[in-house]
Amino acid sequence: MVSPVGLTAGETWSAITRGQSGIGPITSFDTTDFEAKIAAEVKGFEPTNYMDRKEARRTDRFIQLAIAAAREALDAAGLVIDADNADDVGVVIGSGNGGIITLSEQYEIMRTKGPGRVSPFLIPMMIVDMASGLVSIHTGARGPNFCTVSACATGADAVGNACEVIRRGDAKAMIAGGSEAAIVPIGLAGFASCKALTLRTDAHASQPFDAERDGFVMGEGSAVLLLEELEYAVQRGAPILAELVGYGATGDANHITQPIEGGEGGVRAMRRALKQAGLQPEDVDYINAHGTSTPINDKFETQAIKTVFGEKAFGVPVSSTKSMIGHLLGAAGAIEAGFCVQAIQSGTIPPTINYEHADPDCDLDYVPNSARCLPVNVAMTNSFGFGGHNATLLFKKYEQ
């Protein structure tokens, strides 16, 4: 992981369990004329730790973050890609916005200096699949290579689709996740214009499920998981952290930005994931919610959980880690999948910080403000995106 609260998975998880916020005033550009002025930026990231200076200049930030996360995942898993296994290892890393930083910069160059001054690297720096492409080039993975784009469900869909590649026998291992770096003037202005962002300016601005929530906080970062076919992982002595046992994806067919009434699309995604896993709602010990801190999403996601879980909904801990790292957009589903794995590994459920005012429409156990130590055998994560995309992943404790 590369996140607003850490440059590695370990740093990030430590901060998350402490309830540390990565949200603050935007430092990458002047926000004087903007309504929204805060974000969850990655701090202290140095791309030349992962590539030489020349390549870094020719690579958008979202790609750099993905390469860093992918390298950490491979190192942690002890997987060396070589001539013997390269064809059996694939990559699927998605992004919601791709190289929007580069596109913004190069458009300004064209406007002020003319089209002849536009960088020949604009297209490979901008297109959304290039995080997946360059991770393949950096690692040598020659198996299936593609990206997913499903707005804020992108990262979860990447992980889910990577699993399906392995299921159908097209790869033994998949480097899977999401990456996003969209904190630029046009990105901030666009989300603010559609009334999705909070206009608060303090670190407590991301308030999932709180009665005073008024919008999400943009975040950036990357998260990558290494998925392996079980026999392959056991054979090479891999450190197995969890099993991905269920993936459900649905569409609302309703509205370009708003979820369908009652979160019905999310209901179907959760049920599909449970069915694929062969599990019942009562088997789930923790839900990492989409929990964006927007009035409609949090209300409808709460309704959806209650529809799927019935009375059990009131007994299962539900938290939104977006309260600490903001909304990583296309990377959100991937980093939240990682949090589910870490919750299973550590027996620690991350909190929803900034929860102060109860909302009658949001009446579940949101693990307010402090982490909770509880055994987690099965963890679920939800991701919902503009366009009516819904994705749910289910992870289970691995038992030999």
Q: Domain check: are 223 and 250 in the same one? A: no
Tell me which residue range forms the domain holding 48.
Answer: 9-235
Q: Per the residue annotation, which of 147, 152, 163, 362 is the catalytic one?
A: 152
C-alpha gyration radius of the chain? 20
Looking up residue 217, the CATH number of its domain turns out to be: 3.40.47.10
Q: What is the pLDDT of residues 125-135, one digit of tens each?
A: 999 999 999 99
- Asked if 247 and 266 sit in the same domain, the reply is yes
**Are 231 and 253 within one domain?**
no
Q: Which of 138, 147, 163, 327 is catalytic?
A: 327
250 found inside a domain: yes
Give catalytic status of residue 152 as yes or no: yes
* Cross-strand partners of 246: 394
Whether 4 maps to a domain, the answer reads no
- For the stretch 196-235, pLDDT in tens is 999 999 889 999 999 999 999 999 999 999 999 999 999 9
pLDDT, residue 117, reads 97
CA distances from 341 to 26, 109, 211, 389 (A): 30, 43, 29, 23
Picking from 235, 270, 299, the residue at the C-terminal end of a domain is 235
Pick the catalytic residue from 138, 290, 340, 362. Answer: 290
**Residues 225 and 277 both lie in one domain:** no
Q: What is the pTM of this model?
A: 0.97
Same domain, 62 and 101: yes
Q: Find the mean pLDDT for residues 271-283.
A: 98
**Could you tell me which residues are beta bridge partners of residue 288?**
319, 381
Same domain, 118 and 209: yes
Q: How confident is the model at residue 114 (pLDDT cuts 50, 70, 90)?
A: very high
Q: Are residues 16 and 164 in the same domain?
A: yes
Does 35 fall in a domain?
A: yes
What pLDDT score was predicted for residue 322?
A: 98
**3 falls within a domain:** no
Q: Is residue 312 part of a domain?
A: yes
Question: For residue 270, is pLDDT > 90?
Answer: yes
Strand partners, 228: 173
Residues 99 and 224 in one domain: yes
For residue 177, being part of any structural domain is answered with: yes
290 is a catalytic site residue: yes
Q: How many domains does the chain have?
A: 2
Q: 134-190, pLDDT tens digit by residue?
A: 999 999 999 999 999 999 999 999 999 999 999 999 999 999 999 999 999 999 999
- pLDDT score, position 203: 81
Q: Is the pLDDT of residue 110 over 90?
A: yes
Last residue of a domain, one of 215, 235, 255: 235
* Six-digit token string for 366: 């949101």
Is 2 part of any domain?
A: no
Query: Which CA distances in Å does 246 have to 32, 249, 301?
Result: 45, 10, 19
Which of 203, 235, 267 is the C-terminal boundary of a domain? 235
Query: Would you give the DSSP letter of residue 364?
Result: S
Domain-located, residue 53: yes
288 shares its domain with 180:
no
pLDDT reported for residue 400 = 82
Which one, of 65, 148, 136, 141, lies nearest residue 393 by Cα?
Answer: 148
Residues 164 and 295 in one domain: no
Encode pLDDT of 350-390 as tens digits: 999 999 999 999 999 999 999 999 999 999 999 999 999 99
Percentage of the residues of the chain whose pLDDT score is greater than 70:
100
Q: 139 and 213: one domain? A: yes
Q: 177 and 91: one domain? A: yes
* Predicted pLDDT of residue 156: 98
